[in-house]
Amino acid sequence: MAKISDQDVEKIAQLAKLKITESEKESYRSHLEEIVSYVEKLNELDTDDVDPTFSVQQRKQVLRPDETKPSLPREDALKNAPSQANGFFRVPKIISQDRGES
Nearest CB to another protein, comparing residues 41 and 68: 41
Nearest CB to another protein, comparing residues 6 and 11: 11
Q: Rule CB under 8 A: which residues touch another protein?
A: 8-9, 11-13, 15-21, 28, 31-32, 34-36, 38-39, 41-45, 47, 50-57, 59, 62, 64, 72, 76-77, 79-83, 89, 91-94, 97, 100-102
First to last CA, the chain: 44
Residues contacting 2, CB < 8 A, separation 6+: 33, 36, 37, 40
Helix (H) or strand (E) holding 21: none
